Chain A
Amino acid sequence: MSEEPLFDPSLKKRSKKKQVAFSENPLGADADPTVPAPSLDDTTSSGDVIDLGPKTVHEQMKQNEAGIGDAASGLGEAKEEDDFKAMFGDLKKKKKKKEIPLELGEEGSGTSTPITNASTTAPGITEDLDFFDLKKKKKSTKKKAAFDLEAFEKELQESKSKDANAEDDEDIPDGEHLNDIDEAELGDDVFDRSEVPAGVDQGTEPWLGSDRDYTYQELLTRFYASLHASNPSLLTSTGKRYTIAPPSIHREGNKKSIFANISDICKRMHRQPEHVIQYLFAELGTTGSVDGSGRLVIKGRFQQKQIENVLRRYIVEYVTCKTCKSPDTLLTKENRIFFMACESCGSRRSVNAVKTGFQAQVGKRSRNRTG
């Protein structure tokens, strides 16, 4: 009995780290779907966790966006994480070792402890999930989150070292604290790793295991959580439509128009300027040239609106994917035929070559004959 009070505080403090091991253990299906796992499920089925999922996703995204500025230093960390991942096989084994004594201790202390455990640590779990989500989302640009984690981990470490005497017997397999620190950082990654394949990258919904009918809300949040988890770029790009800077048309002299930002627009559309220019000339029924600074000089008087119309038609015909409407396409030429391959849906289709068609003779014939 004297063990329990000693044990509980340590558990609480360590819970942030260790608890995950618990919650993850049944998921990992490590031949331990015993008593603690269902109890955990029951306690966390209050719905807090479910609600937390999407929230964290959004927060994450915000953090991500905020963290992009710090990406430079974040990259370094990402590398570190990668290194850790490389070593993660060993770590997992270590982790396992660690887990086992803890569980043993619990079992030794009595069957009632798991329940108290679960109830006290439910918030802890959710917090941990937060971090996991954050880490899962974008490894590279996550600076802030990583920082939080580190600080968190350090606190944990400190608290751990205080409690070290109490848990010395358990920690013996781990060895020194230096090792521990490493592991604390790595441990999360390990979990991260092991959790991703376990559930649909959020196997955390407590109702997953149960037989009851899932509510629409639960399924919806789960869907969005996993969707955003698997492709975080969706969140940032959902609201944005395919936009292109309007063409800037100036008049040069009386009979020529200058299309100044054609190179920008071509870059934006991922098309060769030659192709775009060819199309423009064919559609407008004129000729022209590219001047020294990359601007297009078009013969004839054209207004911005007119060029815009032509560009719009070009985008419809040569840029947007006919299957999925995505502008993420590549235009390649094979055997004199242009093929458009969609980057997002993978469809591939041939597109008509740009054809000039009939050109009526305009202007003086004599000039045409000589020139």
Chain B
Amino acid sequence: MSVQNLNTFDPFADAADPLAADEPGRQSYIHIRIQQRNGRKTLTTLQGLPKEYDSKKILKAFKKEFACNGTLVDDEEMGQVIQLQGDQRAKISTFLTENGIPRASIKLHGF
């Protein structure tokens, strides 16, 4: 009585892999976005930082480097998002590339 369905072997094990790989694949992009606030104020968000980096420490470094305030926002879908005051997009991208993150994985959004 060997029912194939009861086997421990999962036929979709490797089929699911591409999907699983796809998820992190998309996540591997670091998105830098900008949002307008009232007046000339803006907000920069950094989303999709790889897990191996400690976002808390990076936030600290950002704040010191760019001389701005910022917070770490926990989002259900997007995970931890670094949020900085002001338009720091260019600065963030240069900072990240200088610290060994490939430029191809950084996506700069906004105007």
- What residues of chain A have their CB less than 8 Å away from a CB belonging to chain B? 255, 282-286, 300-302, 306-307, 309-310, 357-360, 362-363
B81 touches A300 (CB 8 A): no
Judged by a CB distance under 8 angstroms, whether B33 is at the interface is: yes
- What residues of chain B have their CB less than 8 Å away from a CB belonging to chain A? 31, 33-38, 43, 45, 47, 73, 75, 78, 81, 83, 109-111
Given contacts A301-B36, A360-B43, 16 further A-B contacts (CB under 8 A): A255-B38, A282-B109, A284-B110, A284-B111, A285-B35, A285-B36, A285-B109, A285-B110, A357-B47, A357-B78, A358-B31, A358-B33, A358-B47, A360-B73, A362-B35, A363-B38
* A310 partner residues in chain B, CB cutoff 8 A: 110-111
Q: How far is the CA of A262 from the CA of B110 in the complex (A)?
A: 18
CB distance from A358 to the nearest CB of B (A): 4
* Overall SS of chain A's interface: loop
Q: How far is the CA of A102 from the CA of B34 in the complex (A)?
A: 83
- Interface CB pairs A-B, < 8 A, 20: A283-B109, A284-B110, A284-B111, A285-B35, A285-B109, A285-B110, A286-B36, A300-B36, A301-B36, A302-B111, A306-B111, A307-B111, A357-B31, A358-B33, A358-B45, A358-B75, A360-B81, A360-B83, A362-B35, A362-B37
Q: How far is the CA of A282 from the CA of B31 in the complex (A)?
A: 12
Given known pairs A358-B81, A360-B35, A362-B35, the reply for A283 and B73 (CB within 8 Å) is no
CB distance from A298 to the nearest CB of B (A): 10
Residue on A nearest B111 in the bound complex, by CB: A306
Q: How far is the CA of A362 from the CA of B33 in the complex (A)?
A: 14
A283 touches B110 (CB 8 A): yes
* A360 partner residues in chain B, CB cutoff 8 A: 35, 43, 45, 73, 81, 83
Q: How far is the CA of A285 from the CA of B38 in the complex (A)?
A: 13
CB distance from A352 to the nearest CB of B (A): 8
Q: How far is the CA of A362 from the CA of B73 in the complex (A)?
A: 13
* B45 partner residues in chain A, CB cutoff 8 A: 357-358, 360
* B109 partner residues in chain A, CB cutoff 8 A: 282-283, 285, 357
* A255 partner residues in chain B, CB cutoff 8 A: 38
Residue on B nearest A305 in the bound complex, by CB: B111
CB distance from B50 to the nearest CB of A (A): 16
CB distance from B69 to the nearest CB of A (A): 13
CB distance from A335 to the nearest CB of B (A): 15
* A357 partner residues in chain B, CB cutoff 8 A: 31, 33, 45, 47, 78, 109
Q: Which 5 A-B pairs have the closest CB atoms?
A: A306-B111, A285-B35, A300-B36, A358-B78, A358-B47
